[in-house]
Structure 1
Amino acid sequence: MAHWLVKSEPSTWSWDQQVAKGAKGEAWTGVRNHTAKQYMMKMKKGDRAFFYHSNEGKEIVGIAEIIKEHYPDPTDESSKFVCVDIKADKPLKTPVTLAAIKTDERFAEMALLKYSRLSVQPVTDAEWKMICKLGGL
């Protein structure tokens, strides 16, 4: 199982909105970066992703599950991009802030720091375990 991080501005799509969608989840649409698209195409049903509030909050707030693998993004008129469906799995007991990640040398190579603008990113197994621990899981 692979691990990922997906970003959303809470004013656009928040963790609470994701949770409200329940088991049916929601399509993760609107990604318009080719590297992020490639990552979405690698996502498999059952993979987990950190849900990160970008710009406002700048923190990992929950864990989502990929419930449908990539398919054409219905919001993309060019037909070049894909989306996946995700559902909320569980919140972190304590959100893990970007500031905390930046000050911890164990995360020096994390995609969140190296490719800060990328909205869909891989997370290593080691990073996943450390963030879950920091988040109280």
Structure 2
Amino acid sequence: MPQYWLMKSEPDELSIRDLQRLGQARWDGVRNYQARNFVRAMQPGDLFFFYHSSCPQPGIAGIGRIVGEPYPDPTALEPASHYFDAKASAEKNPWSARDVAFVETFAEVIRLPRLKACAALAELPLVQKGTRLSVMPVTAEQWQAILDLR
């Protein structure tokens, strides 16, 4: 049975439209250990809500699917990358990346205030104060509640 996730990306780095155009892309740059552990826990075929963050209209813009297994995040080793980690090496890279595939773009972004107003999402870390994880699990009930907001 697939699990569900929510993954945040700044649309000027990778947007749902970019993923739609590419069909598949690398999801990298996760630099929080809890979020990284979620990245590693994902299974091929799992679905995720694609959340646009740090933009004028943050919210859920569509759906993607996890492809393949996690692998060392190459951006940790690239000095020019803002995800560079001076402590990481080719032999010991603590960060993981995943390949993701496009599934669907929503007609309208489901904005954060709308998500916060939905009682069924009260336990979703995204809508709780002080939670800034870029990757988080979503229960089947929360998944359906979000789909119902489209």
Taking structure 1 as the reference length, the TM-score comes to 0.92
Contact 2:26 2:97 in 1 (8 A): yes
Identity rate of aligned residues, in percent? 36
User: 8 Å contact 1:94–1:134 — kept in the other structure?
Assistant: no
Paired amino acid for 1:80: P
1:61–1:91 Cα contact (<8 Å) kept: yes
Equivalent in the alignment of 2:66: 66
Deviation per CA, 1:59-93: give whole Å up to 9, x if none: 10100000122111111131110011001101123
Aligned residues of 2:8 and 2:135 also touching (Cα < 8 A) = yes
Find the counterpart in structure 1 of residue 83 from structure 2: none
Segments of structure 1 that go 5 or more residues without pairing to the other structure are none
Q: Among residues 112, 124, 134, which one is paired with 1:110 in the alignment?
A: 124
- Match runs of 1:1-137 below 5 Å: 1-22=2-23, 25-56=24-55, 57-77=57-77, 78=88, 79-114=93-128, 116-135=131-150
Asked which structure has the greater CA Rg, the reply is: 2
Amino acid at match of 2:53: S
**Equivalent residue pairs, number:** 133
Verify the 8 A CA contact 2:8 2:51 in the aligned structure 1: yes
Please give the per-residue CA displacement for 1:88-136, whole angstroms capped at 9, x wherever unaligned: 101123321110011122211112123631101100100001111111x
C-alpha distance in structure 1 between counterparts of 2:66 and 2:124, whole Å? 21
Alpha-carbon offset, residue 39 of structure 1:
0.2
Deviates more, 1:105-114 or 1:42-51: 105-114
2-side partners of 1:116 and 1:106: how far apart?
18
TM, length-normalised to structure 2: 0.84
Any unmatched runs of 5+ in structure 2?
78-87
- Give the alignment's Cα RMSD to 1 decimal: 1.2
Distance 2:62 2:69 in 1: 20
**8 A contact 2:30–2:36 mirrored in 1:** yes
- Give the whole-Å Cα distance in 2 for the aligned partners of 1:64 and 1:87: 5
Counterparts of 1:111 and 1:69, CA distance in 2: 25
